[in-house]
Amino acid sequence: MDKFFKKLPISESALKKKRICQDDLKSNSKRGLIETNLDNIIADPGLRVRLSDYNVNDRDEIRRKYLLKGPCQPRHHQFPQTMFGNTPRRFNYAWFEQFPSWLEYSIAKDAAFCIFCYLFKPEMGQQSGGDSFTVDGFRNWKDGLSRLREHVGGPNSIHNQAAVMCTNLMKSGQHIEVQFLKQSDLARQEHKTRLTASVDCIRFLIHQGLALRGNDESDSSTNRGNFLELLRFLGDHNEEVKKVILHNAPENNKLTAPEIQKDIINAMAVETLNCIKMDIGDAFFSILIDESRDISTKEQMAITLWYVNSEGQVIERFLGIMHIMDTSAHSLKAALEEFFLYH
Ligand SMILES: [Zn+2]
């Protein structure tokens, strides 16, 4: 059983992994061709790669995606203070109200950025000036407002040219592609609401130890089982949920099928086991196993752990049931090993 108890230097290996990821990112951007993943564009302006590092054919699509998403404005962030002489100063979130369409703030760099210039400045070549609002970030909080106004400049400033380019791009994009992106955002939101409703209902029933299915789940049934009835009840008391569940959901995406219920329950089991594993950590534990025959005469073995948690309490947690061939010590040990290997 020793093989399950080798302690890994977690922090070091995690660090190494992080380093490898960062190296990958660096070498990718050096190659100049970033693989485009439009579902995963980076929100924080301080962590984005330059637009010129993307494939030229993908750039307009990336721009549209960013413009639809809008500038990154974390209004509820605790903006850190920096000393300017003897005065502590920080980013003022009221500036978002002054410049709602373009001003962005990077939490990672504690710096301000401009989304218009990020998207279109590279196209303007050498005449486009410094990189303070696109690459490095602007941090002069002392003269913040006046410097931001300076950045906008006159009608023909670089910033305003970039703004016009953004407007033109979105106008030209008022066709299927943009509509489709909007549509898919809405569909995603509805899917999330529907899934949350199903998960909440199942979580309630599991917690109370109630059965999910009913004897007759057809539309004409007067009692369609705990799960469907609870879901309907939830919808009756929440308009937002009602709009997207059961009869209002697409036929192929109701998230109520028995397979879906089982998937959600399995996900809950995994999460619960992870919590138990986290709670045990690297501490010692003892194993309690017991086997018995179920109603179909299959032998099954229940596995329970005992351990002392960080608060000094003795905790007993049931982990699961394994089916076994026979009740000899050998097969019990084999099943136990299999269980620990899995986890
Ligand atoms: Zn700008």
158 in the same domain as 227:
no
Tell me whether residue 25 is in a domain. Answer: no
Write the pLDDT tens digit of every residue in 288-322.
988 888 788 888 889 999 999 888 899 999 988 88
Q: Which residues surround ligand 1, an ion (CB under 5 A)?
A: 114, 116-117, 159
Cα–ligand 1 centroid distance for 54 (angstroms): 20
Domains: count for the chain: 3
Residue 32 confidence class, pLDDT cut points 50, 70, 90: very low
Query: Counting Cβ atoms within 10 Å, is residue 122 exposed (0-12), middle (13-18) or buried (19+)?
Result: middle
Q: How many angstroms separate the CA atoms of 281 and 308, rounded? A: 10
Residue 246 confidence class, pLDDT cut points 50, 70, 90: confident
Cα–ligand 1 centroid distance for 48 (angstroms): 16
Tell me whether residue 40 is in a domain. Answer: yes
223 in the same domain as 309:
no
Which pLDDT score, from 0 to 100, does residue 43 have?
A: 87
Residue 323 confidence class, pLDDT cut points 50, 70, 90: confident
Cα–ligand 1 centroid distance for 121 (angstroms): 8
200 in the same domain as 162:
no
Q: How many angstroms separate the CA atoms of 22 and 204, rounded? A: 42
Among 140, 174, 208, the domain boundary falls at 174
Write the pLDDT tens digit of every residue in 51-81.
888 888 888 888 988 988 889 999 888 999 9
Cα–ligand 1 centroid distance for 264 (angstroms): 46
Cα–ligand 1 centroid distance for 181 (angstroms): 25
Which pLDDT score, from 0 to 100, does residue 95 have?
A: 93
3-state secondary structure of 211: coil
Tell me whether residue 3 is in a domain. Answer: no
Cα–ligand 1 centroid distance for 116 (angstroms): 5
256 in the same domain as 146:
no
194 in the same domain as 168:
no
Query: Counting Cβ atoms within 10 Å, is residue 82 exposed (0-12), middle (13-18) or buried (19+)?
Result: middle
Cα–ligand 1 centroid distance for 101 (angstroms): 10
The boundaries of the domain holding residue 256 are 178-262
pLDDT of 220 higher than 80 = yes
Cα–ligand 1 centroid distance for 80 (angstroms): 23
322 in the same domain as 221:
no
